[in-house]
A and B are shown apart, each in its own frame.
Chain A
Amino acid sequence: DIQMTQSPASLSASLGETISIECRASEDIYSNLAWYQQKSGKSPQLLIYAANRLQDGVPSRFSGSGSGTQYSLKISGMQPEDEGDYFCLQGSKFPYTFGAGTKLELK
Chain B
Amino acid sequence: EVQLQQSGPELQRPGASVKLSCKASGYTFTEYYMYWVKQRPKQGLELIGRIDPEDGSTDYVEKFKNKATLTADTSSNTAYMQLSSLTSEDTATYFCARGTHWFAYWGQGTLVTVSS
> Is the beta-carbon distance between A34 and B102 smaller than 8 angstroms?
yes
**Chain A residues positioned under 8 Å from B99 (CB to CB):** 91, 96
Main secondary structure of the interface of B (DSSP, over half): strand
In the bound complex, residues from chain B placing their C-beta under 8 Å from that of A55 are: 104
Interface of chain A: mostly helix, strand, loop or mixed: loop
Known: A94-B59, A95-B47. A43 touches B102 (CB 8 A): no
A89 and B37 alpha carbons, distance in the complex (Å): 12
- Most chain-A CB neighbours within 10 Å: which of B45, B50, B102? B102
Task: List residues of chain B with CB under 8 Å of any chain A CB.
Answer: 35, 44-47, 49-50, 59, 61-62, 95, 99-104, 106-109
Asked if A69 CB lies within 8 Å of chain B CBs, one says no
Q: If A94-B59, A95-B61 touch, does A46 touch B45 (CB 8 Å cutoff)?
A: no
Report the minimal beta-carbon distance from B59 to chain A, rounded to whole angstroms.
6
**Using Cβ atoms and an 8 Å threshold, which residues of chain A touch B101?**
32, 34, 49-50, 91-92, 96
Q: How many residue pairs at the A-B interface have CB separations less than 8 Å?
A: 53
Instruction: Enumerate chain B residues within 8 angstroms of A100, measured Cβ to Cβ.
Output: 44
- Please provide the chain A residues from 48 to 107 with a CB less than 8 Å away from any CB of chain B in the complex: 49-50, 55, 87, 89, 91-92, 94-101
**CB pair B44 A98 closer than 8 Å:** yes
A46 to chain B: closest residue by CB: B104
